[in-house]
Structure 1
Amino acid sequence: MDEPVEKEPRGARRKRETRARLLEAALRLSAERGMEGVAINEITEAADVGFGSFYNHFESKEAIYLALVEAVFEDFAQGLDRLTLGLSDPAEVLAVSIRHTLRRAQREPLWGRFLVREGLSARAASQGLGQYLLRDLHKGIAAGRFKAEDPPMSFMAVGGTVLAVLSAQLHPGSLDASLTGRLDLPVAPRDEVPERAAAMVMRMLGLSTAEAADLVRRPLPEAEATDPGWSGRAVRD
């Protein structure tokens, strides 16, 4: 006979739900304006939480920002690690990570906007996705898969490329009417953008055009492992 599942105390459940609402509100507001432009009272109002209750969960705005970076970036980065666990080629690991990141941003624009806003900050670059990207680049260089005479610049080039493509995805048509029109370039179907971006990064890191194309055509691993778990549900628009 199965043992009865212990019910979560009401107080603990309310505390967890309040914390999740605060994080969700901080995510939405910082995705729009950046955390520097958001006040604590705006977070509590958006979360429908009393101002004083904020300090039951976070010591400061910096504290909720760090928790948010961990929840959004660190959780996703760890999910990518689980997703690519069976892959031995550092180039494929990075290509899969780029494709999944861009596809998730397509599915979850709010998450994508937060990544664009915070992805280039010094704090975000040294945590979560930033530190995982740097690690994967070093692995690829050590294995001889990537050619990078200046690893820090390669790190910035790869990160900047992904964020630029991600930003373009969030503003459909922004390139169609300008760059692609002036250069007489065909507009890439939205579903192909993650693969084209990953292939470009692979070529930038020294892989041949043929090998890069082969890598990004491979089936992606299942994506369930990258779903966010901090609030019990994905935060979507």
Structure 2
Amino acid sequence: MPTTSNRRALKRPAPEPVALPKPAEDREPRGARRKRETRARLLDAALRLMAEKGMEGVAINEITEAADVGFGSFYNHFESKEAIYAALVDSVFEEFADTVDRLSSGLTDPAEVIAVAVRYTLMRARREPVWGQFLIRDGLSARVLQRGLGHRLLRDIERGIAAKRFTSDDLLMSFASVGGTVLTAIAMMPFFDDPAAMKAEAARFKKLGLNANNIGERTVATLLQTLGLKRAEAEKIAYRPAVSSLE
């Protein structure tokens, strides 16, 4: 048992630092916070509706009702339905494409750049089904060549052709082949998370080799062969852990 002198020598734990309130000038004004939250609700509602129906199939009043926002408030944030769609593409796809660019920034082989982009896209689509569905809608529209992921994919294929890494010299059809295969793979994603469907179609799915664990790698291997790589090299690149290590 400690003596009196020892007890005096024992140090009490230092008190936890108290978080001081932010100065008033650093706090977000209530009006600005409400405006930001309203804009976020509108974008979220537009994403869900446009993923299901496409931009042309959605009316502004549907977006405001789904967001629980007054119809007139829509125009405080966006000029038109086309404007909110453009904002969605910027926030959903341009930001994502910037991330893909960052992940592949150290790669010099165009085939590896394509592999990273495709595998990362498929991972995101499975994690966020609405995002994937919106990508399918946008990928089948006339806007696909102009912005977002479609524009980046076109750029990367063109670089591969220019470097003679890809033997295909038809840029447009190479883009269509790669983009179409990626969208088809995304469309299959719901099967992986639907036990009833997997059980009902077990025999057919087994024959097709439908397996969520390697769909990304198989997609990449097929695409690289489409672009002109030999099967052995395409599979070697496809199964490198370049993306899984970055999750």
Aligned AA for 1:139? R
**Residue 66 of structure 2 corresponds to which residue in structure 1?**
46
Confirm or deny that 1:197 pairs with 2:181.
Answer: no
**Residue 23 of structure 1 corresponds to which residue in structure 2?**
43
Runs of 4+ more than 6 Å apart: none
Aligned AA for 1:74? E
Confirm or deny that 1:125 pairs with 2:148.
Answer: no
**Residue 15 of structure 2 corresponds to which residue in structure 1?**
none
**Residue 233 of structure 2 corresponds to which residue in structure 1?**
211
Structure having the higher helix fraction is 2
**Residue 87 of structure 1 corresponds to which residue in structure 2?**
107
Bigger CA radius of gyration: 2
Q: Distance in 2 between matches of 1:149 and 1:82?
A: 27
Confirm or deny that 1:58 pairs with 2:81.
Answer: no
Confirm or deny that 1:220 pairs with 2:234.
Answer: no
Q: Distance in 1 between matches of 2:208 and 2:56?
A: 39
Deviates more, 1:117-126 or 1:20-29: 117-126
Q: Deviations over 1:164-186 (max 9, x none)?
A: 11111234458x949x839x834
Confirm or deny that 1:100 pairs with 2:123.
Answer: no
The question of whether the paired residues in 2 share the 8 Å contact of 1:113 and 1:170 is answered with no
Unaligned runs of 5+ in 1: 225-237
Q: Deviations over 1:152-211 (max 9, x none)?
A: 11111111111011111234458x949x839x8342320200110011000000111111
Q: Distance in 1 between matches of 2:133 and 2:238?
A: 24
Q: Distance in 2 between matches of 1:188 and 1:42?
A: 37
Deviation at 1:148, TM superposition (A): 1.4
**Residue 113 of structure 1 corresponds to which residue in structure 2?**
133
For normalisation by structure 1, the TM-score amounts to 0.86
What is the root-mean-square deviation of aligned Cα atoms in Å?
A: 2.2
Higher RCO (C-alpha under 8 Å, 6+ residues apart):
1
Deviation at 1:223, TM superposition (A): 4.3
**Residue 234 of structure 1 corresponds to which residue in structure 2?**
none
Figure out how many residues of one structure are paired with residues of the other and give that number. Answer: 219
**Residue 181 of structure 1 corresponds to which residue in structure 2?**
204
Confirm or deny that 1:151 pairs with 2:174.
Answer: no
Distance 1:28 1:210, change over 3 A: same
For normalisation by structure 2, the TM-score amounts to 0.82
Deviation at 1:143, TM superposition (A): 1.4
Q: Distance in 2 between matches of 1:26 and 1:52?
A: 16
**Residue 37 of structure 1 corresponds to which residue in structure 2?**
57
Q: Distance in 1 between matches of 2:116 and 2:92?
A: 19
Unaligned runs of 5+ in 2: 1-21
Q: Distance in 2 between matches of 1:96 and 1:84?
A: 7
The question of whether the paired residues in 2 share the 8 Å contact of 1:112 and 1:170 is answered with no
The question of whether the paired residues in 1 share the 8 Å contact of 2:110 and 2:156 is answered with yes
The question of whether the paired residues in 1 share the 8 Å contact of 2:161 and 2:169 is answered with no
Aligned AA for 1:59? E
Q: Distance in 1 between matches of 2:242 and 2:28?
A: 37
SS in 2 for 1:197: helix
Q: Distance in 1 between matches of 2:61 and 2:93?
A: 24
